[in-house]
Structure 1
Amino acid sequence: MIKNKKIIQLISCLDLNVWKCLLLIRQASKVFKPIYKQLTLDDFLIDNDIGESLNETPWDIVVNAINSNPKDYVGVISYAMTLITPRLSIFEMLEDGLQSVKIDQSAFREIVDLLSDVSLDDFSLPILYEYGLSREIQATTSQNGDFYTPLSIIEFMLKMLNIKSQGNIYDPCCGSGALLCRAANLFSDRELKLFGQALDSTSYQICLMNLFLHGLYADLGEHPADTLLEDLHTNRKFDYIIANPPFNHRDWCGEMNIIGFDKWIYGLPPRKNANYAWIQHIISHLTDNGCAAIILPNGTLTTQNQQEYKIRQKILCDQLIECIITLPAGLFYNTKIPCCIWLINKISKPSKDVLFIDANHMKLKQKNHIDIQKLLEVIQQYRLGTLQEKTELYAIVSLEEIEQKKYNLSPNFYTKKKSLPLLTIRENRLWFETTADTLYPYLTDGSLRPCIKEWKTKKISSNWKWAFLPDLYDIFGGVLKGKESFGHGTPMVDVKTILRHPFLPDMLSSFVVVSKEEIEKYSIKRGDILLNRTSESIGELACCSVATKDCNAVYGNYVKRLRPRNDALIDPLYMAGYFRSMIYRREVKKVSPVYTTRANMNIDRLSSISIYYPDLDMQHRIGETIFNLSNIQLANKNKEINAKIEDFIQLLIEQFITYPVLYLQKKEK
């Protein structure tokens, strides 16, 4: 392993073509061993012909050339490449790339010496190859997602396919060939024929090399080509398909006429996004009993684009979707976009049920690794018919119920909701009182100290009401402008401001050029609530910042303004606490398809959110306390005191908003 690390350090000193050629030559020379490890005195005495065997492999040519210190290392490499059989189509490209290369002789000699010791009985060379690709990968990330597909996810997808003793497996966007290589190695005891297609010459070359270094062969077609526009395996059907297509590929077909393509059996996909083109391409290539596992962005589960919606509906009605799995964040190296796996299975099922697995909240066993065995057991039990109907992890859902949800495939719409721990929250009352005692000595504000002390004995309100958010607030979108309008002009509330401040600050860091009419239209007044309608995570979706006074500012397009319908009904300061409560976060999760490309909140979803509020006196007490403590935090630079204040605020919200609402809901049941 130490030698492998040393090789990795030296790779940056060599041209990539030189590095690739060395790996190919070494892989093709399996019988080679360094002379000082292979020969003993007895070897020379017993075998008089041993010297003639030293130049039998291409790697011998390279090693012996180093010992003779030639001036032309490029010529040595080129000659050694001509001795490799079989002759791969990428050789000419590599050899052409050698012609203008200058080689660092010191690094070259050291790498050759170290590679001579690399065992070919394991995957050392393929692993080293993938490390060496880091420079190339950066330029091809968007097209070759499998470079960054975690090994645990690849194995999970392959094992879901339930691969039999023989068959063929296809990756329509094979990139580096990582998925095909893993399939062959994971099921080395089975007769699997490998097929794939690479988009460009770089991917094609990388994939062929990776396969060669693994001792494998795959039919990639005669040349690289865009799979969706030039299918090199048009008339072939596959038993198994595994794919990680490029996400949300825009304008994927350019001006090309795609109407006559046979693969669009469920409808013409939109030209602005290739996701549903990939899904249909893959389905069209499956045999009658074929199975496919596809990594896709979560936006595919909930998209309301009419073309995609109708395609999804038809695929569901044909009973092709066996399972949908949403994956945890942080699995993929190159994207924060939430991902899911579509398991397509053409084997006829006795029912029209779909298995939904919400693995979004599964803890990573280690970086980029999830407990795939647990997920595989769920799928296996589902196939055996022994699975419970619904838990927090999974749900078995009928087509009728999916239809009622407008063919939405987001698992969180179907799995059992995690209940908030009423008893645990109640038991936290003692901790709340202790926190108040701890905070009390640090408060210098004479009026605030009695207030904190009073909360220790304060009883929760029994007078609660609720309403849907639109009953209390008018919802209005923000100003939409081109890039040239930002950076100067009128102060503007943006998403960052909302995430950082429960109460709108006096100073804003964003600006936009707007007219007098727009200033009036997108004005901010006391009691207004500014809510971010989009985020990369559900935890930061639909957060709120309350305007405590009229503000000379507007708000951006990614923000919604909630303006009170009745100023006498809701205390604005109270709402700053409510929007930080577990009750509100549960409401957001309940109404939102949280596993989209970016978590988002539109007016329809906001309209389904319930708002709970006590009598005005209790609202005022909660709001004033939170507001005053938040101001102390802003003015104070002592992190320890600020942490104590934050603990108290969170416990105050928990004890006097979350707990009574949960208790009320429990009684109503």
Structure 2
Amino acid sequence: MNNPEQQFLKALDDKLWKAADKLRANLDAANYKHVVLGLIFLKYVSDAFEERQEALLERFKDENDDIYYLPREDFDSDEDYQQALQEELEILDYYREANVFWVPKAARWSTLKEKAVLPVGTVLWQDDTGHDVKLRSVSWLMDNALEAIEKSNAKLKGILNRISQYQLENDKLLGLINTFSDTSFTKPMFDGEQLDLHSKDILGHVYEYFLGQFALAEGKQGGQYYTPKSIVTLIVAMLEPYSGRVYDPAMGSGGFFVSSDKFIEEHAKEHHYDPSEQKKHISVYGQESNPTTWRLAAMNMAIRGIDFNFGKKNADTFLDDQHPDLRADFVMANPPFNMKDWWSESLADDARWQYGTPPKGNANFAWMQHMIHHLAPTGSMALLLANGSMSSHTNNEGGIRQRLVEEDLVECMAALPGQLFTNTQIPACIWFLTRDKANGLVRNEKKRDRREEFLFIDARNLGFMRDRVLRDFTVDDIAKIADTFHAWQRGEHYEDVAGFCKSASLDEIKKHDFVLTPGRYVGAREQEDDGEPFAEKMARLTGQLQEQFVESERLEAEIKRNLGRLGYDL
């Protein structure tokens, strides 16, 4: 947190969370997140929209711009020219071509801020029939904005939660609006320095931060819509989803899609592509059973201008697959660990159980086989699961794991450190599988033939403690793991490292009875040789220990004497 951008974001997080947290006296965490995220949503889409308007206005006036220039001499007066500029700014196609979310006038932040301070009963505007529309309350004004957005954006119909149902007082909502307004999202400054951050960067960060905070506030239940950012970033960095169809069957709030979007932007900049053109080559598909979380995911995509297909409704992935015909190029998921209550007798002979029927009391291998079922012939996937999935032999799990290995779907197993999750202490791992280890159907990738080879990565010693309870990965940690995976895939500068990574053969895995725990393969880390012979070192350390025992006895006797003088007898 040393650079100005990070310090700015940290200060902003604290400020906005402190303002939002005041609602906790009136609402529980499960409800006040809808109010706060609804406001963040309105602010985000409005700021991105206004940023696009400013850029368009400059181009309309730039005589060197052959496409957008609007000549002043074509109009009789300055007033006509200004009117034409304003009308041009309201053309929808200008925003869609730049992947910017369209925001109608009634939903723009400037409208919300201006009208929210007016007395209740004030006439705001006239509706389509010519009748006066009066201000009823601040929550009504927010609901009106959300409704206007839904009408203008068909994919969000029925998605945005209305605020009025929570019956919050006007002054509390006005306080939130003022706090969100009292920050420069388009031209952020820190210690007098102009920062290279756009409103999309800032509000995207705030949105993710709030999702994480709500997950903490709600405890175990909150984790259902939030996967730690570092794990999502790691998986995306390893799979490299530049183009194609990306699918998450347990999408939560859509974190994998957001990270994929950021990854594509960074990749495009690195190779001097146009990010908006690059994004046209990717499409996202998701499914989520929880209605609240399904809505959050749709909002999360909309504020970033990501085109999405999350099915017609929230639904159970196993019982009501919203994408039955999808064959995805990349599948990524963090489903609930060891989910017990998932089975239905209608699933008994399901076509997805190609490698064995999963146990009725644990959905781990049901998720895995569902994802494999939806993989394209060249597709790759990453699945976050509890560590037990790597070694359990209970109720056919060992048999399914053996089939997956023997049929050469497993590519890499990565063991993660503990304390990465806000809502569980269960140790976790990532399974990386692919349908094309031979690299026979190349997608412009420099991968080699990896048949009957398996990479094991033990990342349990990586990361740092972000606070007293949560661990996190550094950028270097993520790069180390991802680079190791890519070097192994491509056969470029890969080497086994004791205690960290090992490329194993099928025969080695058979010797371990198809248990895939990385620790069994990577071995122990090599200790540094300090040049001191082992026998001499042991003699020296034993002598030091003896001296410490003697000193301990002396100190114990001294303490007893002092206590005795005070009248205490041990």
TM-score of the alignment, normalized to the shorter chain, above 0.5: yes
The counterpart of 2:553, out of the listed 434, 437, 443, is 443
Decide whether the 8 Å contact of 1:8 with 1:131 is kept in 2: no
Cα distance per residue 1:432-474 (max 9 Å; x no partner): 42443354355369xxxxxxxxxxxxxxxxxxxxxxxxxxxxx
Match of 2:373 in 1: 284
Q: Distance in 2 between matches of 1:637 and 1:282?
A: 70
Equivalent residue, structure 1, for 2:181: 115
- Per the TM alignment, residue 373 of structure 1 is displaced from its structure 2 partner at its CA by 1.6
Deviation of 1:365 after TM superposition, in Å, equals 8.7
In 2: Cα distance, 1:412 partner to 1:438 partner: 35
1:209–1:415 CA distance, 2 compared to 1 (3 A)? same
Question: Residues of 2 paired with 1:286 and 1:125: CA distance?
Answer: 33
SS of residue paired to 1:94: coil
Q: Work out the CA distance in 2 between the residues paired with 1:107 and 1:636.
A: 64
Question: What's the offset of the Cα at 1:284?
Answer: 0.6
Contact 1:143 1:246 in 2 (8 A): no
Count of matched residue pairs: 436
Of 116, 127, 133, the residue aligned with 2:205 is 127
**Residue pair 1:90, 1:205 contacting (<8 A) in 2 also:** no
User: Given the superposition, is the C-alpha separation of residues 405 and 277 from structure 1 closer, same or farther in structure 2, using an over 3 Å criterion?
Assistant: same
Q: Is the aligned partner of 1:240 residue 2:307?
A: no
Alignment of 1:397-546 (within 5 A): 397-418=504-525, 423=533, 426-440=536-550, 443=553
Alignment CA distance shift 1:118-1:304 (3 Å)? same
Aligned residue among 346, 362, 385 for 2:491: 385
Write the deviation string for residues 191-244 of structure 1: whole angstroms up to 9, x where unpaired: 210111112111111111111222223111011111122211111100001111
Match of 2:39, SS state, is helix
1:18 corresponds to 2:43? no
> Pick from 159, 168, 171: which aligns with 1:102?
168
Matched, 1:333 2:422: yes
Q: Report the TM-score, using the length of structure 2 for normalisation.
A: 0.69
* C-alpha contact 1:32 1:60 (8 A) present in aligned 2: no
The one-letter code matched in structure 2 to 1:10 is A
Deviations 1:259-282 (A, max 9, x none): 121110011000110001011011
Equivalents in 1 of 2:176, 2:222: separation in Å? 34
Shift of 1:143: 7.8
Q: Is the 8 A contact 1:61 1:80 kept in 2?
A: no
* Residue 78 (1) aligns with residue 143 (2): yes
The counterpart of 1:369, out of the listed 456, 473, 478, is 473
For residues 139 and 365 of structure 1, the distance between their equivalents in structure 2, rounded to whole angstroms, comes to: 22
Larger Rg: 1
**Counterpart Cα distance in 1 of 2:561 and 2:425:** 33
1:90 & 1:235 partners in 2: Cα distance? Answer: 24
Comparing 289-298 with 373-382, which one deviates more in the overlay?
Answer: 373-382
Would the aligned equivalents of 1:357 and 1:394 in 2 still touch at CA under 8 Å? yes
Alignment partners' CA distance in 2, 1:365 and 1:100: 37
2:389 matches 1:300: yes
1:344 to 433, 444, 451: 433
Which residue matches 1:157? 235
Quick check: 1:13–1:104 contact (8 Å CA) kept in 2? no
**Alpha-carbon distance change, 226 to 209 in structure 1, aligned in 2, over 3 angstroms:** same
Residue of structure 2 in register with 1:212 after alignment: 302
**Contact 1:204 1:224 survives alignment (8 Å):** yes
Instruction: Report the counterpart of residue 186 of structure 1 in structure 2.
Output: 263
Asked if the contact 2:339/2:361 (under 8 Å) is kept, the reply is yes
Which residue of the partner structure matches residue 46 of structure 2?
29
The letter of the residue matching 1:443 is: E
Query: Partners in 1 of 2:503 and 2:560 — Cα distance?
Result: 52
- SS of 1:239 mapped into structure 2: strand
| CA offsets 1:21-79 (integer angstroms, 9 cap, x no match) | 3223223323559xxxxxxxxxxx986969x9999452232112134243611222222
Q: Is the 8 A contact 1:356 1:415 kept in 2?
A: yes
CA gap of 1:5–1:442, structure 2 versus 1, over 3 A, is: closer
Q: CA deviation at 1:382?
A: 1.4
Which amino acid counterpart does residue 226 of structure 2 have in structure 1? F
User: Which whole-Å CA distance do the structure 2 matches of 1:391 and 1:439 have between them?
Assistant: 35
After TM superposition, the structure 1 stretch with the greater mean CA deviation from structure 2, 317-326 or 361-370, is: 361-370
1:19/1:443 CA distance change after superposition, 3 Å: closer
Look up the match of 1:203: 293
Inter-partner Cα distance in structure 1 for 2:222 and 2:34: 21
- The 8 Å contact of residues 198 and 225 in structure 1, kept in 2 or not, is answered as yes
Q: How far has the Cα of 1:107 moved from its partner?
A: 5.2
For residues 413 and 560 of structure 2, the distance between their equivalents in structure 1, rounded to whole angstroms, comes to 49
In the aligned structure 1, how far is the partner of 2:370 from the partner of 2:419? 28
8 Å contact from structure 2 (residues 137, 170) kept in 1: no
Instruction: Give runs of aligned pairs for residues 624-643 of structure 1, distance below 5 A.
Output: none
Going from structure 1 to structure 2, the CA distance change for 1:125 and 1:427 (only over 3 Å counts) comes to same
Shift of 1:106: 4.8
Aligned partner of 2:18 among 2, 9, 34: 9
Who is 2:112 aligned against?
62
The share of aligned pairs that are identical, in percent, is: 24
Quick one: distance in 2 between partners of 1:405 and 1:159?
30
What secondary structure is seen at the aligned counterpart in 1 of 2:379?
strand
Cα drift, residue 90 of structure 1: 5.9
1:357 is aligned to 2:425: no
**What SS does structure 2 have at the residue aligned with 1:443?**
helix
Cα displacement (A) at 1:104: 4.8
**What are structure 2's unaligned runs of at least 5 residues?**
1-7, 24-31, 52-76, 90-103, 121-135, 187-197, 266-274, 439-448, 563-570
2:146 and 2:160 in contact (8 A); partners too? no
CA distance in 1 between counterparts of 2:398 and 2:253 reads 32
CA–CA distance in 1 between the matches of 2:219 and 2:328?
27
Q: What amino acid maps onto 1:94 in structure 2?
A: N
Instruction: Tell me the secondary structure at the aligned position of residue 308 of structure 1.
Output: helix
Match of 1:123, SS state, is helix
* Alignment-derived partner of residue 261 in structure 1: 350
Relative to 1, partners in 2 of residues 1:163 and 1:74: Cα closer, same or farther, differing over 3 Å?
closer
When residues 236 and 636 of structure 1 are mapped into structure 2, their CA distance, relative to the original with a 3 A threshold, is: farther
Secondary structure of the residue aligned to 1:355 is: strand
Following TM superposition, by how much is the alpha carbon of 1:251 offset from its aligned partner in structure 2, in angstroms?
Answer: 2.6
Cα distance in 2 for partners of 1:214, 1:399 equals: 43
Gaps of 5+ in 1: 34-44, 446-631, 639-669
- Structure 1 residues 322 and 248 mapped into 2: Cα distance closer, same or farther (>3 Å)? same
Matching residue's letter, 1:148: T
CA shift in 2, pair 1:391/1:17, >3 Å: closer
Residue equivalent to 1:147:
226
- Conserved 8 A contact 1:168-1:193: yes
SS at match of 1:289: strand
- SS of residue in 2 equivalent to 1:341: strand
Check whether the contact 1:81–1:91 (CA below 8 A) recurs between aligned residues.
no
- The 1:637/1:303 distance shift into structure 2, 3 A limit, reads farther
The question of whether the paired residues in 1 share the 8 Å contact of 2:44 and 2:199 is answered with no
